[in-house]
Amino acid sequence: MTDFAAARRHMVDGQVRTADVTDLRIQSAMLEIPRENFVPPASAALAYLDLDLAVDEAGSRRLLKPMVLAKLIHAADIASSNRVLDVGCATGYGAAVLARIAGQVVALEVDAGLAQAARSALAAQDNVSVVTGPLTSGWPKDAPYDVVVLEGATEIAPHAFLRQLRDGGRLVCVLGSGPGTKAMLYRRSGEDLGGRPIFDAGAALLPGFAKVPVFAF
């Protein structure tokens, strides 16, 4: 039988601390939250490995690698009073980590089955609300947000979220698909959303975030 507590310690020691994630709140959250509760039962033994873990039958929706999730949250510089929009929350693991750090988390998911799984897994977390809708639309009802986290990759720059960020608000994501993709940190300044790469990272593409094919004749 897997010793999940030991597996969590190994994940944090081997994947999080070694990736320069020095925020003790993130380390503590990832040490305490049972990631195995957020994956299909058949995958529980894989919950703490350094991989994107499929959480749907098709295998297209995946939890971010622990290192990538931790570094994105660390880069977002989240304060305890911040309101965070978690885009593509899937089964809710990332939202659970964010809830230990931020004041309020809105976890957005397009797949009704995954959203229900997230609601069940996060039922004890009173500062998280799980909502269902198109990921590319965000959740303007509860805007503005201090931070937006995209839990997956986008092939298009996330300028559509500008209006849902406070001035000075941050957005983190993985930009691009295939080799050479980068994690990005964006910041709103007035009517501009400027971004810069922060580390190499790959992730599964979120629904609705693929580039529209351009046909050349």
Strand pairing class (104-109; 62-63): unpaired
Phi, psi at 36, each rounded to 5°:
-65, -20
Sign, CA dihedral 90-93-94-98, equals positive
Domain extent listing, the chain? 4-200
Beta bridge partners of 172: 149, 185
Instruction: Please name the helix (run of DSSP H) or strand (run of DSSP E) that holds residue 99, with its range, or none.
Output: helix 93-99
Q: What is the pLDDT of residues 31-64, one digit of tens each?
A: 999 999 999 999 999 999 999 999 998 888 999 9
| Cα-based distances in Å from 140 to 108, 135, 136, 149, 179 | 11, 11, 11, 15, 33
**Residue 69 pLDDT:** 98
Retrieve residue 33's tokens: 């939250």
3-class DSSP string for 154-171: ECCCCHHHHHHEEEEEEE
195 — pLDDT class (breaks 50, 70, 90): very high
Fold held by 4-200: Rossmann fold (3.40.50)
**Residue 217 pLDDT:** 56
Retrieve residue 55's tokens: 């959480």
Task: Calculate the CA 148 to chain-centre distance.
Answer: 9
Q: What is the pLDDT of residues 1-22, one digit of tens each?
A: 789 999 999 999 999 999 999 9
| Cα-based distances in Å from 162 to 3, 138, 167, 193, 209 | 43, 10, 9, 6, 16
**Residue 212 pLDDT:** 76
